[in-house]
Structure 1
């Protein structure tokens, strides 16, 4: 009896520090790493979310921009942090989707992280230069097939979501287009507008100003539903394409091994923020739709994204380490 009592006491002592952390969390500012340079859409999303999130937690978030390697540098930084909830990463489709699918990265996107929750997502939109004589997707596919090797598409870089989405489109249509990778989406759009390339799959937020100005034409978008920003533009899914629910998404993860109670507190408060009208209004400028999830749902979402893009990369022989 005495031995069992001692064992229970030892177990309680071992659990006490973790329980105490969960009960008092957060007691100091939380470092929130955004894996891109300051000033862009992803940075705005991180700063908007953390401002409102901090109010829910009655604590300050300190946003830190760590760019490099398509998010790899930021991921490595977070993996060196204690899994106590005071260091979080804004993971996104590159860090936990397309990069692990197309190249060797110095982390495991599943085992090395604790999923907190999805923040939101925005569709990609199939656009063409206005000189392209196509008003819908079928006309565009016919146009490409009539001009083999003469049509090119721009992307934000090898292995980016803009690249893989077009490769998925090519796979399902059998249409051949020449890939022109750029260092970022902005120069790719400039060349599309100038007629140097004919098509691309930018994020909706990047395309909207040019679509509204009539400088490019939208043929279809990714996602399960039409965008309120482009209500007359069909989704590729409704046109009969498969697996085109793919989106540019943003979420929050921490180092592996975070206490379950801390994860729950973070997820509960994050999901409250995502339902706030104030956040939806600010996200509308980036065409981002808030999407609350449980940690378990978000973890499964990450695994499905890696599987989706990994299968495509294998089928299209896209291996960026070669």
Structure 2
């Protein structure tokens, strides 16, 4: 199983070249939180958005706390494998899950994972936001959404859209786009963004709604075309790319926060200690720079109770989408 061991030696080296911070109050929080290796369990495969994010957070956490951090990939079942593993471990803060919020607010609505996302899991901290973008094969003759729709309509029944997992906004957005544009695209799910993007780049699958984190480098290198941003406002990383709202698709607004979640059985005081430590990391200018460089938008810290309420509201919003668009697991 792929793992990344962030050792004390590596942490010190990283501190010298990247973070250059003094532990200050964080060291006290970290020492009170854990005196053993901390395991960050990732819901996605190596190379995916959650994996990239977890490794950045793991580096920062090891650097600033001096504690050993292990990043461990347990992909599959829309994040349920990682979450159920975490729930099987003691709720002592030594095993946490790093994920996008969609594993709580989207996937469970169509893919039952054997846990209740609103009762069994507690969001601890959100450190960044992932932006969704409509990308396509560079072989497509279209250069904008209007031309893309016209091209896809011209060959009915011949095309599909990829998603990085069933039950995620990648599927939701693809189905909504297909219906609202009057297309008949078939959903083709993949186990993560990397394999899906391989087929999109090759032209086997023409389009996909993907996270900017995994698509940005491919867009910059010309290996993917980008048609629109699925958010309320333009991305500062793609300022010249219009939003799907601007293009006539106001319902296509999707974006997940990236953060850390724990078992709801964890003691409230421990949740607050971990939140404080992660919030300190999230405020680091160096980490913010690394997040931006990897396609994430840093966000302001949210208290644990407000984060939990935001998860519930997004879950209810997505439940409405599932019902309205009759979204079902393939």
TM-score normalized by the length of structure 2: 0.79
Aligned runs of 1:234-273 on 2, under 5 Å? Answer: 234-273=242-281
2:217 is aligned to 209
User: What is the count of residue pairs matched by the alignment?
Assistant: 301
Paired residues for 1:145-160 under 5 Å: 145-160=153-168
The one of 36, 40, 46 aligned to 1:32? 40
The aligned residue for residue 6 of structure 1 is none
Matching residue within 295, 312, 324 for 1:303: 312
Q: Secondary structure at the match of 1:224?
A: coil
Deviation at 1:27, TM superposition (A): 4.1
User: Structure 1 residues 243, 303: closer, same or farther in 2, change over 3 A?
Assistant: farther
Superposition deviation, residue 278 in structure 1: 1.3
Flag the structure with larger Rg. Answer: 1
1:43 aligns with 2:18: no
Shift in CA distance, 68/132, structure 1 to aligned 2, threshold 3 Å: closer
Change (3 A) 1:57 1:237: farther
Q: CA deviation at 1:38?
A: 4.3
CA deviation map 1:179-229 (0-9, x unaligned): 333344334333333333322212223323332233432110122332233
Q: Retained in 2: the 8 A contact 1:70–1:94?
A: no
Q: Which segment drifts farther, 219-228 or 129-138?
A: 129-138
Q: Give the superposed CA RMSD.
A: 2.8
Counterpart secondary structure, 2:210: coil
> Who is 2:201 aligned against?
193
Match of 1:103 in 2: 111
CA contact (8 A) 2:108 2:167 kept: no
Residue 81 (structure 1) aligned with residue 101 (structure 2): no
Is 1:218 the counterpart of 2:235? The answer is no
Per the alignment, do residues 40 and 200 of structure 1 end up closer, same or farther by CA in structure 2, a change over 3 Å counting?
A: closer
Instruction: Name the structure 1 match of 2:182.
Output: 174
Match of 2:136 among 105, 128, 135: 128
Match of 1:116? 124
- State the distance in 1 between where 2:60 and 2:181 align: 43
305-314 or 98-107, larger mean C-alpha shift: 305-314
2:148 paired residue number = 140
Asked whether 1:274 is paired with 2:292, we answer no
Structure 1 window deviating more from structure 2 (111-120 vs 166-175): it is: 166-175
| Residue aligning to 1:92 | 100
Report if the CA contact (8 A) 1:102-1:310 is conserved. no
Residues 271 and 316 (structure 1), Cα distance of their counterparts in 2 relative to 1, 3 Å cut: same
Q: Conserved in 1, the CA contact under 8 Å of 2:106 and 2:315?
A: yes
Q: Secondary structure at the match of 1:44?
A: helix
8 Å contact kept, 1:22–1:261: no
Query: Cα offset for 1:257?
Result: 3.0
Match of 1:62 in 2: 70
Decide which moves more: 58-67 or 99-108: 58-67
Q: Cα offset for 1:231?
A: 1.5
Q: Hey, what's the Cα distance between the residues in 1 that align with 2:191 and 2:85?
A: 24
- Cα offset for 1:170? 2.5
Greater shift in the superposed pair: 141-150 or 256-265: 141-150
Unaligned runs of 5+ in 1: 1-20
Stretches of structure 2 that go unaligned for 5 or more consecutive residues are 1-28
Q: Secondary structure at the match of 1:124?
A: strand
